[in-house]
Chains A and B, each alone.
Chain A
Amino acid sequence: MLKFALLGLLAQDPKHGYDLKNELEQALGGHWEINFGQIYTTLARLERDELVRVAAEDRDGRGKKTYRITAAGRKDLAAWFEEPVEKPRQLRDEFFIKWIVGKLAGQSDPMRIIDRQRQAYLTQLRDLTALTGRAGDPNVELMVEGAILHLQADLRWLDLCEERLERGELEKPRAAIRKE
């Protein structure tokens, strides 16, 4: 992901690694501090793949390089923009595994798992709603809204888990689509 972020920033004009970090942080509303090391390992990987090349190096030789995007880099970036994102947004996998494993192990009370999870989601939701209108950047704002909507869906899903559990529906096997 960082790969395309850096390519995108370099698409306009050549930049220092330091400039890249600043601009990226600014674009995200100044809420995220990006690790320098992360930036340089990514740049190194891009250079290896010939998607960027070093345009200039400071005379004092202390590694202050200016990077420029290559034609291959532009092509890669353009292809990335064209493609829709295939992967669905993250499922709350771990909770689901806890749910299944807890049932198999016969250890935890599923109701308690739900309650605790709801508490956690609600706390996250509270924190995120406290952010709306205060993130500073309209694009980041949009991301916050997205996260809120996801949390709301997660909470609804918990409701559904609870409802099915209460009705005892989770004990009965259902007709399922089986592999032939």
Chain B
Amino acid sequence: MLLDLAWKNIWRRKLRSLLTILGVASAVQLYLMVHGVMGTYTGEINGQVNAFAGRIVIQQQVESGGGKSDLTSSTSSLMEETAEALLATGGIDRAASSALLFVPIARALMPYIPPAVVAVGLEPGHEAAYLGGLKAASGRLTLEEPDEVILGQGAAEYYRSENNGDPVGIRSTIPVGGRTLKVVGILGDAPQLFANAVIMPLPTAQAIFDRPGTVTSVILTVQNTGAVETVKSSIQAGFSGLTVSTQDDMLRSASSILDAMNSFMSIIETSILTVAVIVVMIVVIVSVMEARREIGTLRAVGAARWRIFTMVAGQSIVLSMMGTLVALPIALFFVQWGMSDYLSSVTGVLQVWWQILVTAVGVGLAASILPAWQAVRVDPLESLRYE
């Protein structure tokens, strides 16, 4: 093996190698960002869908355009009477079913992502329709008085600025639409859909947001999970013009969106990695061109072709790995400082260290194929060329 020669070739041209490493680093860093955003997004959507196991969400879209998976769509509108009728459907667990009113308080950062903060009105006593399966970090997850409110962690953070910068906890009060509500519970870890929720009694929400007699959706929990499709068919038979989504439907629509996003993102990711490959390749090709006489000498004194290959491939893999190494702290820096909402999954990406290693080695190897091929074909007689 001639890996030490590869290393020495890198050291020989310090400035050039440094620039290459920085080039690779910025490409890899960008790759991690894109990968992180995509990971965060996928995790979010899957989390939402999973939270709706055994439940059916019924909406009535007033305008077209709202995505089917947008469970908190505030453009849906149902009359309370219809909601009552739906809640009377057979085979459902009435206690864990409720009519709901979703109203955004702060806008979403990206389309298809739940609003940053959303007010959720639900029928007291039926909190399980929305919060079933979730745990409280503190306080309780039931609403007993009209001016009580339960906050997700994201929402609590949002109201911090209204609370003189102090953390919002139980017994804090928050102002919502001119009314002051008392916080009685904070949600534990939950998908963003829940973490950003400001949950209050339905009548309170209808009053604050001036939506009397209407709700945006109804969530039904079936008694027997296997009967979801039966319940869905009976609803579709009894009511017309309603969007009825089971977990399977949500999964289908979610994965069709994710697939489109994924193929788009992978084009970007591939392009970024191609840039890294080309940067390394150019530098290694130049260094092979400069070293033809030395390679010829090595061949003349008995270096086999595979050794020449290890020298060139080694040089390019080391460059790519060093670039990656420089990119990691930069990526972590961005995650830590201010972009955690988008990039929360980058830390997860980084934890799968072998994936990064494989990517770095892959970039190096891909970059080395052409120059290594050129180097391997250098004739021993080139050792005699004058410079």
Do A and B come into direct contact in the complex, CB within 8 Å? no
